[in-house]
Amino acid sequence: MNDLVVGKVLEIEGTKVNVLMEENSNMFTYFYNGLKYRGIAINSFIGIIRGPYKIVGQVVKEFLRDVYSDSQDMHYKKNRFERVIEIKIIGTFINNAFIAGIRAYPLIYNDVVLLNEDEILNIITNGKNDKKYDNQNYRIGQTLIDEIEFKLDWSLVFNTHIGIFGNTGSGKSNTLTKIYTGLFNKNNLDFKGKSNFLLLDFNGEYIGAQLLNGSEKEIISLNTRNDNGDKLIIDQKVIWDKDILSILLSATEKTQKPFLSWIIDRISINNQFESIVNEILALEINKTYTRPSHDSVKSLATILSQDFIEGSEEGRYESLQGELKRKLDYGNEIAPFDINEYPISDMKVKSGLPFLSKLRAAMHIFLLQELNNGHYRLDDIQPMLSRLKSLEKSFDRIIEIEDNYNTFESLLTIISLRNCNQDIKKIVPLLLAKMSYELHKIANEDNINKTFHLIVDEAHNILSDSAKAENKGWQDYRLEVFEEIIKEGRKFGYFLTIASQRPADISPTIMSQLHNYFIHRLVNDNDLRLIEFSISTLDKVSRQNIPNLSSGCCIITGTSFELPLTVKIDYIDCKSHRPNSDNVDLIELWKQ
């Protein structure tokens, strides 16, 4: 036998095994028969020989056993204490191939041996350390304990939902960049026409040369502060949808959403839009004059002042507005007026309006119709009109509507929300997620011909279930959309990657439905508690190590990995290729 024996099996209890270690078994490194062996430490791997099997265990505990067990004699003697380690069985080597899971149990006095680097690599890669698997994996770092190269098997990871978590400065953004840069740099892969990647970047960390270079990458930097930003182009047929517009306007479920759906079912924003709404407007003006109600008169007075009506900005309808307001204030106490004395025949919706202005015009005119029919109250719909008006300027700065346009045509699309206001930061991610998911689901309903990968950095901005300042119904709807994606998306080839420094703020449903995790240092008790209850593949020792991980180190665990591994992720040396999240160098900044 060529193995280096370091102990004997002392006790077995299920998958828990206690091993009595020999003297001089606590060295850091061993060289034996021309092979290098790493010494024993917590989380390291060790072998147990039983016949043709080499049973593999992972060290979880180390302690001293008092041979004397005499509480009356407390004197220290050289031979009084024996070194014992506790291991858990994780797999077996059969014919030099590692197989995860229980295949055999050890017996008392079986030899315990160290594992060489090739065997450890076999365990880490689940047997895929051969050169024939080089096209299937790529390096992202090295294991912390054994300092062995760690390669990520893209075929098992990118068809799953991924979570990357860690406090500020823990290396979370570097890990996100490393795993996707490595994927895009694989020369043997052809993504064109087969996959799309969309990254939502809240802080502008990926708007340079990160992740991917060349024509296959599109960066869209949105800006609600001024008109200097890029435009997000969306297909007209996609956005003229009751669910999408309900998201956009935060429509309430019982009154505003049905009203919006009714409008969408009746008209479209094509070339016939102006003629349809102008015909309805002319009809409803006469109805309001002949059968006035407080709400309809107030609604018509509001329409006369709107910028979507031709001539309103020149004050063409001010006198008619004055009569309507007097009617509101005094009712039947004043003499009736003849509406035909005013230029109502000229009252038309402007042509060539921006998308949201068209929508606002349609909503005002159809609301007037419904008020005349007695189907709605003005107070039910007015809040949605106010939201639309406040959103319009920001929306027109960042979004452009076109016919037959594919928003996600590029291999990698990066949407930067760094210069957007808070409303847009909430709306755009949901709009893009809903739109991309629905389109992808329709295209791949019968057979998956393409994959879509949505990457959300700083995901707590939109996936929090505890945002106090937000409308509850709106927040619930956004979570429902993402929870549907994470529950059902895999069936259609739609996958989600989220990164966050505050996992406890993210919906527990979303956290528990992730398949694979890259966990950097977390110190908050709420975060650690959520990790404990959400991730079933994380063992106790790894969980205890999370608050003490150094920068760049993370614990990798999940359905694509046989066991949790602590890995030091390679730091991206090239400044232009790593995310724009470096700490400020005060020495350089403040030097004279």
- Does the pLDDT value for residue 564 go beyond 60? yes
Confidence of residue 50 (pLDDT cuts 50, 70, 90): very high
The alpha carbon of 471 is separated from its chain's Cα centroid by a whole number of angstroms, namely 21
Query: What was the pLDDT predicted at 456?
Result: 93
pLDDT in tens, 218-237: 999 999 888 888 888 887 77
Average model confidence (pLDDT) across the chain: 84
Instruction: Give the amino acid at 54.
Output: K
Domain boundary among 332, 352, 375: 375
Considering the chain, what percentage of its residues have pLDDT values greater than 90? 25
For residues 475 and 586, state if they share a domain: yes
453: containing domain: 152-226+407-590
Domain containing residue 489: CATH number: 3.40.50.300
Q: Which of 278-296 are b and which e, b meaning 16 or more Cβ less than 10 Å from the residue's Cβ?
A: bebbeebbebbbeebeebb
Same domain, 435 and 575: yes
Q: Tens digits of per-residue pLDDT, 406-461?
A: 788 889 999 999 999 888 888 888 888 888 898 898 888 888 889 999 999 988 88
**What backbone torsions phi and psi does residue 31 show, to the nearest 5 degrees?**
-120, 125
In a domain, 294, yes or no: yes
The yes-or-no verdict on residue 63 having pLDDT over 50 is yes
Specify the 3-state DSSP secondary structure of 480: helix
Are residues 291 and 341 both part of a single domain? Answer: yes
pLDDT at 64: 87
118 compared with 329, residue with greater pLDDT: 118
Residue 44 lies in a domain: yes
The verdict on residue 231 lying in a domain is no
**pLDDT of amino acid 416:** 92
Q: Cα-Cα-Cα-Cα dihedral of 177, 498, 232, 274, to 10°?
A: 170
Give per-residue pLDDT as tens, 238-266: 778 887 788 778 788 888 888 888 888 88
* 131 within a domain of the structure (yes/no): no
Question: Does residue 126 or residue 37 have the better pLDDT?
Answer: 37
- Which pLDDT score is estimated for 199? 94
479 is a domain residue: yes
What pLDDT score was predicted for residue 540?
A: 85
Based on the domain organization, do 333 and 457 belong to the same domain? no
Distance between CA 101 and CA 91 in Å, rounded?
A: 5
pLDDT attached to residue 469:
46
Q: Is residue 327 part of a domain?
A: yes
* DSSP result, 226-255: STTS--EEEEHHHHSSHHHHHHHHT--TTT
d(CA 361, CA 392): 12
Weakest-pLDDT range from 107-111, 376-380, 418-422: 376-380
Q: Are residues 543 and 480 part of one domain?
A: yes
Could you give the percent of the chain with pLDDT greater than 70?
A: 89
pLDDT of residue 412: 92
Asked whether residue 438 falls in the same domain as residue 564, the answer is yes
What does the angle CA 389 – CA 423 – CA 204 come to, to the nearest 5 degrees? 130
Residue that is last in its domain, among 375, 398, 416: 375
Return d(Cα 230, Cα 415) in angstroms, integer: 10
pLDDT tens per residue across span 316-367: 556 666 666 666 655 555 555 556 655 566 678 888 888 888 888 888 888 8
Which pTM value belongs to this model?
Answer: 0.83
Q: Is residue 118 a contact partner of residue 131, using CB atoms and an 8 Å limit?
A: no
266 or 98, greater pLDDT: 98
Cα distance between residue 514 and residue 535, in whole Å: 9
- Of 193, 194, 160, 192, give the one whose Cα is nearest residue 179: 160
Q: Would you say residue 245 lies in a domain?
A: no
pLDDT of residue 176: 94
Cβ atoms of 347 and 309 within 8 Å: the answer is yes
Residues 421 and 473 in one domain: yes
460 and 585 share a domain? yes
pLDDT (tens digit per residue) in 153-212: 898 999 999 999 999 889 899 999 999 999 998 887 888 889 999 999 998 889 888 888
For 310-354, where are the alpha helices, taking DSSP H only?
318-330
The answer on 17 and 90 residing in a single domain is yes
Domain shared by 268 and 219, yes or no: no
Sign of the Cα torsion 578, 177, 478, 415 reads positive
112 lies in the same domain as 156: no
pLDDT, one tens digit per residue, over 471-520 is: 555 567 778 888 999 999 899 999 999 999 989 888 888 988 999 999 99
Residue 268 has pLDDT above 80, yes or no: no
How many domains would you assign to the chain? 3
CA distances from 175 to 152, 211, 543, 568 (A): 12, 11, 19, 10
Q: Which one of 1-5, 37-41, 105-109, 114-118 scores highest in mean pLDDT?
A: 105-109
**Whether 212 contacts 411, CB under 8 Å:** yes
Structural domain ending residue among the three candidates 375, 399, 427: 375
Look up residue 290 and give its amino acid: T
Would residue 251 count as lying in a domain? no
Q: Which amino acid is at 547?
A: P
End-to-end alpha-carbon separation of the chain, Å? 67
**CB within 8 Å of 215: residues ≥ 6 apart:** none
Asked if 261 and 222 sit in the same domain, the reply is no
